[in-house]
Chains A and B, each alone.
Chain A
Amino acid sequence: DGGITQSPKYLFRKEGQNVTLSCEQNLNHDAMYWYRQDPGQGLRLIYYSQIVNDFQKGDIAEGYSVSREKKESFPLTVTSAQKNPTAFYLCASKPGGGGYTFGSGTRLTVV
């Protein structure tokens, strides 16, 4: 079945470390997105990509980086510059004229 896979489900980061969250889709969708969700809050857009080798900053891109080398993959790196990275991270993809399909999320905790 087609879908989006996020891994790992839980991730722990030490102070000053960079960590990378994986997002893979086999839906053949062109666009992919990363959102951050804090407890009891809505979604905030970090980065998105419409095509391979191209991506745009969302509303809260500082402290994050992405790459889009393959259509299927859109990894997110949380760098040490992100001072408050503890959150639930959601990846999504979308076909040209349709709605989003979301992954099951990665919960990142700073220890």
Chain B
Amino acid sequence: GNSVTQMEGPVTLSEEAFLTINCTYTATGYPSLFWYVQYPGEGLQLLLKATKADDKGSNKGFEATYRKETTSFHLEKGSVQVSDSAVYFCASPLYNFNKFYFGSGTKLNVKP
């Protein structure tokens, strides 16, 4: 069936380490893809998005490339900071533009 799947957490990294959080989707066609970030006690904020295949979304040093061959949208950052500690959610409308499908969230802990 249609779904968004992301890697289980928590992910614990040291400051300045490289980050990858995997996200794959199952759907027909090429839906828009999104990454949201949730800091403790807050709502979700849009981090970046890609609306078509081969697009790259980027924001605050984070990047994700829409790869249609692998139906993936992995989130990457070259050098994480303690302030990046949060929960990251991959999301997409998939086939139904009336509502989004969210991954289960990946908690990132960055240690100084």
A-side residues, CB < 8 A to B, are 6, 31, 33, 40-43, 45, 48, 50, 58, 90, 92, 94, 96-97, 99-105, 107
Contacts and interface: CB of A to CB of B under 8 A. Distances in A.
B45 A45 contact: no
27 contacts: A6-B43, A31-B98, A33-B99, A41-B104, A41-B105, A42-B89, A42-B102, A42-B104, A42-B105, A43-B89, A43-B105, A90-B43, A90-B44, A92-B44, A99-B32, A99-B46, A99-B91, A99-B100, A100-B34, A100-B36, A100-B44, A100-B46, A101-B46, A102-B43, A102-B45, A104-B42, A105-B42
B49 interface: yes
A58 B102 CA distance: 13
Q: Which 8 A-B pairs have the closest CB atoms?
A: A102-B43, A42-B104, A102-B44, A104-B43, A43-B102, A42-B105, A105-B43, A99-B34
A40 B46 CA distance: 19
B49 to A, nearest CB: 6
Nearest to B9: A40
A60 B46 CA distance: 24
A6 B42 CA distance: 11
Nearest to A94: B100
A45 B99 contact: yes
Nearest to B42: A104
B97 A97 contact: yes
Contacts of A41: 104-105
Contact of B99 (A48, A96, A103): A48
Contact of A99 (B42, B49, B104): B49
B106 to A, nearest CB: 10
A100 B98 contact: no
Contacts of B43: 6, 90, 102-105
A41 B104 CA distance: 7
